[in-house]
């Protein structure tokens, strides 16, 4: 049996998703044999720092170390448009395009009755609260194009439309640079439905 | 761009072997979204504890939190036999059999001129020191049955044999429960060479 500190270390790594016992053991021995004390301290401190200092932005619910987050507090962003996404990673993906200058709202999930995720489990209430002052003119639903993401988009659209705010959905179609030949049928159907005059 | 604490956290995870940027990002978000503050503190403390408190046993060079380690200090172990292995995991593998009651010596590697690993880079000197008092009668070379492990076994045998200590090598052959049909040729050759009267 391993000495107790090694066992605890292995158990800690096993807590992480996608890391089984063998990988946890490999990581533990790497930490003990190949990393310097400074590297381990740097890593442990980064974990504690991130956990202690990262919170949800009270406005857009994105992960942030500032309150409100840098996007919500930027005077350069268009406050009339909110792009609604499922996760903080989706915000990053859209920000990388440098094409969107509105605000975001992170739901932290999508409606999924099968997994017992209902409207109270994601940040829908917080989104509705942002619409009360009438500044927002459009909500872009950028949830994922799967069953849960589409259901979430429809659900939120039905809640918000009566409030006089335009709700739009991002386009689905053949990805740029890919081959029609390899696209799945639903994507082709969506691409045909969404055809535009050129 | 992620807030700085998240970026540092991702970079920390990326330091670990076999963990690329995407996986590091996934682990970082899991830590932020799914783990409690207590879980993260427990994990960070386990990392620091293990790194600060685990050392090499001054006798057998195995990783330990006691000096000397529990095996080296046990009065129940046969001090006349030392089983030489490459890594701490090999010690565990042999301990799990409950069949060996001698001592161990962990080399922390195997000779491999291709990778610039020479006799000074593994714990050979420390092994020789243990033979000086004449208590040890047999050295069992349990390094891996590959080129590096075999070369290491031969090298150490040549150093130790003149000292009057018996040096043996673990048997190679067909693994129990496996099929001769699927064994590789070298294993079959070794199994034939090592045949015994029944």
Taking all residues of chain A, what is their mean pLDDT, rounded to a whole number? 91
Count of residues making up chain B:
198
Number of CB pairs, chain A paired with chain B, less than 8 A apart: 146
Range A157-183 average pLDDT: 85
Q: Which residue has the tokens 């291709």?
A: B114
Query: Is the minimum CB–CB distance between A95 and chain B shorter than 8 Å?
Result: yes
Q: Which residue has the higher pLDDT, B20 or A189?
A: B20
- Nearest CB to B30; choose among A17, A30, A44: A17
For residue A101, pLDDT over 80 is answered with yes
B30 touches chain A (CB under 8 A): yes
Q: What does each C-alpha distance from A86 to A64, A79, A187 come to in angstroms?
A: 16, 20, 20
- Which residues in A lie closer than 8 A to residue B38 (C-beta atoms)? none
User: Given pLDDT bands bounded at 50, 70 and 90, which one contains residue A159?
Assistant: very high
Report pLDDT digits (tens) over B142-155: 999 888 999 999 99
For tokens 């969404």, what's the residue? Answer: A194
User: A16: nearest CA in chain B?
Assistant: B27
Please give the average per-residue pLDDT across B38-56, as a whole number: 95
Average pLDDT for A25-36? 92
**What pLDDT is attached to residue A42?**
95
Inter-chain CB proximity A63 and B6 less than 8 Å: yes
Contact predicate A92/B1, CB 8 Å: yes
pLDDT tops 90 at residue A175: no
Q: How far is B189 from chain A (nearest CA, A)?
A: 31
User: Rounded CA gap, B124 and B82, in Å?
Assistant: 13
| Predicted pLDDT of residue A182 | 79
ipTM score for this prediction: 0.77
Say yes or no to pLDDT of B83 above 90. yes
Chain B hits for A74, CB-CB cut-off 8 Å, are: none
Q: Which residue among B27, B52, B88 sits closest to A29, beta carbon to beta carbon?
A: B88
Q: What percent of chain B has pLDDT over 70?
A: 100
Tell me: cis bond preceding B194? Omega within 30 of 0 counts.
no
| Angle at the Cα of B40 from the Cα atoms of B37 and A144, rounded to 5 degrees | 85
**pLDDT top residue among A117 and A175:** A117
Mean pLDDT of chain B, nearest integer? 91
pLDDT value of residue B174: 80
Say which residue, A59 or B176, is predicted with more confidence: A59
Asked whether the beta carbons of residue B27 and residue A17 sit closer than 8 angstroms, the reply is: yes
**Per the CB < 8 Å rule, is B1 touching A92?**
yes
A47 to chain B, minimum CA–CA distance in Å?
A: 6
Structure tokens given for A90: 């989706």
Kindly tell me if the per-residue pLDDT of B1 is higher than 80: no
User: Smallest Cα–Cα separation from A146: which of A101, A194, A181, A112?
Assistant: A112
Rounded distance, CA B134 to CA B143, Å? 23
Per-residue DSSP letters for A106-153?
E-SS--BGGGTB-GGGTTHHHHHHTTTTS---EEEE---SSHHHHHHH
Query: How far does B178 lie from chain A, in Å, by closest CA?
Result: 22
Q: What is the pLDDT of residues A35-76, one digit of tens each?
A: 999 999 999 999 999 999 999 999 999 999 999 999 999 999
pLDDT at residue A151, as a whole number: 93
What pLDDT does residue B133 have? Answer: 86
What is the per-residue pLDDT for A190? 80
Return the pLDDT at B145. 86
Distance CA B28, CA A47 (A): 8
Question: Would you state the pLDDT for residue A63?
Answer: 94
> In this complex, is the C-beta atom of A38 within 8 Å of any C-beta atom belonging to chain B?
no
Q: For strands A103-106 and A81-85, give the pairing.
A: parallel
Nearest CA in chain A to B16: A27
Of A144-153, B144-153, B188-197, where does mean pLDDT reach its minimum?
B188-197
Instruction: Please give the average per-residue pLDDT across A121-125, as a whole number.
Output: 95
- Residue A74 to residue A70: CA distance in whole angstroms: 6
């Amino acid at each position: 049996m391993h000495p107790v500190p090694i066992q605890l270390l292995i158990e800690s790594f096993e807590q992480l998703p996608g890391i089984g016992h063998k990988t946890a053991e490999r990581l533990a021995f790497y930490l003990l044999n190949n990393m310097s004390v400074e590297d381990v301290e740097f890593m442990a401190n980064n974990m504690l720092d991130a956990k202690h200092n990262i919170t949800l932005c009270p406005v857009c619910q994105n992960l942030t170390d500032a309150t409100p987050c840098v996007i919500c507090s930027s005077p350069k962003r268009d406050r009339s448009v909110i792009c609604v996404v499922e996760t903080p990673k989706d915000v990053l993906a859209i920000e990388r395009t440098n094409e969107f200058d509105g605000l975001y709202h992170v739901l932290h999930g999508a409606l999924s009755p099968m997994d017992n995720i209902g409207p109270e489990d994601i940040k829908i209430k917080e989104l509705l609260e942002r619409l009360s002052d009438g500044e927002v003119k459009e909500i872009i639903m950028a949830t994922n194009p799967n069953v849960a993401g589409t259901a979430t988009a429809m659900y939120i659209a039905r809640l918000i439309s009566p409030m006089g705010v335009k709700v739009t959905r991002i386009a689905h179609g053949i990805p740029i640079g890919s081959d029609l030949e390899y696209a799945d049928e639903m994507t082709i159907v969506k691409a045909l439905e969404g055809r535009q005059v050129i």
